[in-house]
Amino acid sequence: MRAAPAVAVQGRGGPLWAALSAGLPACAAAAFVAWLAAHAEAGATGTAAAAALAGGAVLLWQARRWRTVPRASLQWDGQRWTADGTPGTLQLMLDLGPVLVLRLHAEAGGTRWLAIGAGEAGPAWHALRCAVYSRPPRATPRVLSPERSPD
């Protein structure tokens, strides 16, 4: 079995991840405010208006926040993963087709979530997917010479 190729990519998820990152919290806020308005007996029009206002406000906030999200630099050198120079163990969390959502468990402790889009990875996309889905290489067992015993 061949080892996964070395690969280096930069990204923050691409347009699909940006839409999901902004849209899901906006939908959650709209649903919560609609529930509150319905319990306050605001009527159908008031409930819909409050939900739309809350969803729109969160959507705008998320869109502005997205512009400040830095690009992550993810590398596989054939032996270990690093994200912005921090080594660790990579775990695939979600494969959306054009976006991979990954979690790096840093060797020094802590975790980091990363989203890499196919458009951001460009020609390295296939190599990245191969490296993410492949098993890490096994450590080569140390062979003792016949003259030396472990005692």
Range of the domain at 107: 7-12+71-133
- Asked if the structure places residue 144 within a domain, the reply is no
Q: In this structure, is residue 42 part of a structural domain? A: yes
Q: Is residue 53 part of a domain?
A: yes
pLDDT for 25 equals 92
Kindly list the averaged pLDDT for each block of 10 residues, start to end, along the chain of length 151: 82 82 91 93 90 93 82 90 93 92 92 91 93 76 59 55
User: Do 119 and 79 share a structural domain?
Assistant: yes
CA separation for the pair 43, 13 (Å, rounded) = 39
d(CA 16, CA 7): 22
Q: Is 116 helix (H, G, I), strand (E, B) or coil?
A: strand
What pLDDT sits at residue 140? 60
At 135 the pLDDT is 78
Are the CB atoms for 116 and 102 separated by under 8 Å?
yes
Structure tokens at 13: 């998820």
List the strands of the sheet with 99-106, edge to edge. Answer: 7-11, 72-76, 81-83, 86-95, 99-106, 111-117
Q: What is the mean pLDDT of the chain?
A: 86
Q: Could you write out the three-class secondary structure of 121-133?
A: HHHHHHHHHHHHH
Is 139 within the bounds of a domain? Answer: no
The amino acid at residue 78 is G
pTM as predicted: 0.70
The pLDDT value given to residue 67: 77
Residue whose tokens read 């939908």: 27
Residue 140 lies in a domain: no
The two counts, helices (H) then strands (E), for the chain are: 4, 6
CA distance 15 to 19: 6
